[in-house]
């Protein structure tokens, strides 16, 4: 019979802390944000690392701080400039919230990031995990963190075989993480947990043989580490069909900027719109142009289709090209529009679907 999940008593927590910190001091990766004690720089790194691999973040982190070296520079920046530096990293709401939060830090906290997790969570984009990470790493406060890596380490360590998406199980993980953070060097302890999950106690290949917590680990004793943590299956992403069109007038292309709220908010894209159920893409395109821009298109030609998967949506984008009918653009449901030279498109902050559409169009022109 598999062992029952256990909770951390003080003695076990102290032993685990000691082994984790010793391992972290010897084995931690040399990452740029670990060389800093600046709360702003740590905040930027924690924001970028949400749902993004470390090796992908490093060059963006370095470029971002070169362009916005402190909270004042970020707060006073144009949002489009922030998007431009962020472009390609994805999940653009993170950049938007970081900018909004910087403005709030300047206006309400005198440019100093608060060290209290309750105050931190009042800032846009800062939830329970990020507040704990900032409070512990930047301010040495004994606050816990629980992300995917920490959940994996703790469920294996403590033999938790219930669904971690269950609220009670999740709260127990936070309780155990707090027990571990309660001691010297809480920031390093939290980073050690994350580092262990990222580099050794991994999803598909748990490296039990060299794990610093092997003697304490329930899953290693039972032999089921690879099956933990238990999670209910996510719903498959919703299929969405949409259109985009390259409209050329006087050697300039029409682009629109989405409203700041929602998916890809504030980014530039080609005009178009989502397809209704049973609606042909060409019909959806004409309806979308009339609805959002009061515009008609002529000589419309379908170029092809691109695919893009978000965390909860799978997008099929049908790409067209054509010419606008005479008349001025009258915006509705979009924030801005521009007629730009094709060479200027590369400098606009655009989302992944638009980049793929532009690449498809470029290939069609070359052919």
- pLDDT tens across the length of the chain (367 residues): 344 566 788 899 999 999 999 999 999 999 999 999 999 999 999 999 998 999 999 999 999 999 999 999 999 999 989 999 998 898 889 999 999 999 999 999 999 999 999 999 999 999 999 999 999 999 999 999 999 999 999 999 999 999 999 999 999 999 999 999 999 999 999 999 999 999 999 998 899 988 999 999 999 999 999 999 999 888 888 999 999 999 999 999 999 998 877 778 888 999 999 999 999 999 999 999 999 999 999 999 999 999 999 888 999 999 999 999 998 999 988 899 999 999 999 888 898 999 999 999 999 988 6
Q: Give residue 6's pLDDT.
A: 67
- The phi, psi pair for 247, rounded to 5°, reads -105, 115
Map out the domains of the chain as residue ranges.
10-227, 238-366
Q: Is domain 238-366 classified as CATH 3.90.79.10?
A: yes
Residues with a known catalytic role: 46
Q: Report CA-CA distances (Å) from 15 to 9, 180, 199, 200.
A: 10, 10, 21, 19
What is 10-227's CATH number?
Answer: 1.10.340.30
Do the beta carbons of residue 298 and residue 304 sit within 8 Å? no
Residue 87 backbone class (left: φ over 0; alpha: ψ -120 to 50; beta: rest): beta
Tokens of 72: 């004042």
DSSP code for 342: G
74, 82 Cβ separation under 8 angstroms? yes
Name the nearest CA neighbour of 264 among 143, 171, 363, 355: 355
């Amino acid at each position: 019979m598999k062992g029952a999940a256990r909770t951390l008593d003080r003695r076990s927590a102290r032993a685990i802390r000691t082994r984790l910190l010793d391992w972290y001091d010897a084995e931690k990766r040399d990452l740029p944000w670990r060389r800093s004690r600046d709360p702003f720089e740590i905040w930027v790194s924690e924001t970028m690392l949400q749902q993004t691999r470390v090796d992908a973040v490093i060059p963006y982190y370095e470029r971002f701080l070169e362009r916005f070296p402190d909270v004042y520079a970020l707060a006073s920046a144009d949002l489009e400039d922030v998007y431009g530096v962020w472009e390609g990293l994805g999940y653009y709401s993170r950049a938007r919230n970081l900018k909004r939060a910087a403005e709030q830090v300047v206006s309400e906290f005198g440019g100093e990031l608060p060290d209290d997790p309750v105050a931190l969570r009042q800032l846009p984009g800062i939830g329970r995990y990020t507040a704990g990470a900032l409070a512990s790493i930047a301010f040495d406060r004994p606050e816990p963190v629980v992300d995917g890596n920490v959940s994996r380490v703790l469920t294996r360590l403590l033999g938790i075989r219930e669904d971690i998406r269950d609220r009670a199980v999740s709260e127990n993980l936070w309780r155990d993480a707090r027990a571990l953070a309660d001691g010297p060097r809480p920031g390093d302890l939290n980073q050690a947990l994350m580092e262990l999950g990222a580099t050794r106690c991994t999803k598909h290949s748990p490296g039990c043989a060299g794990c610093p917590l092997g003697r304490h680990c329930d899953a290693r004793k039972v032999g089921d580490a690879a099956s933990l943590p238990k999670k209910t299956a996510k719903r498959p992403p919703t299929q969405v069909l949409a259109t985009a069109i390259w409209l050329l007038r006087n050697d300039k292309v029409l682009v629109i900027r989405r409203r700041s709220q929602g998916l890809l908010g504030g980014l530039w894209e080609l005009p178009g719109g989502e397809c209704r159920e049973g609606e042909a893409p060409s019909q959806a395109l004409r309806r979308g142009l009339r609805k959002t821009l009061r515009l008609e298109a002529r000589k419309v030609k379908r170029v092809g289709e691109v695919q893009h998967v978000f965390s909860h949506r799978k997008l099929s984008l049908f790409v067209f090209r054509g010419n606008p009918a005479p008349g001025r653009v009258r915006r509705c449901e979009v924030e801005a529009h521009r007629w730009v030279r094709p060479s200027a498109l590369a400098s606009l902050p655009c989302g992944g679907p638009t980049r793929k559409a532009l690449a498809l169009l470029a290939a069609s022109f070359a052919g």
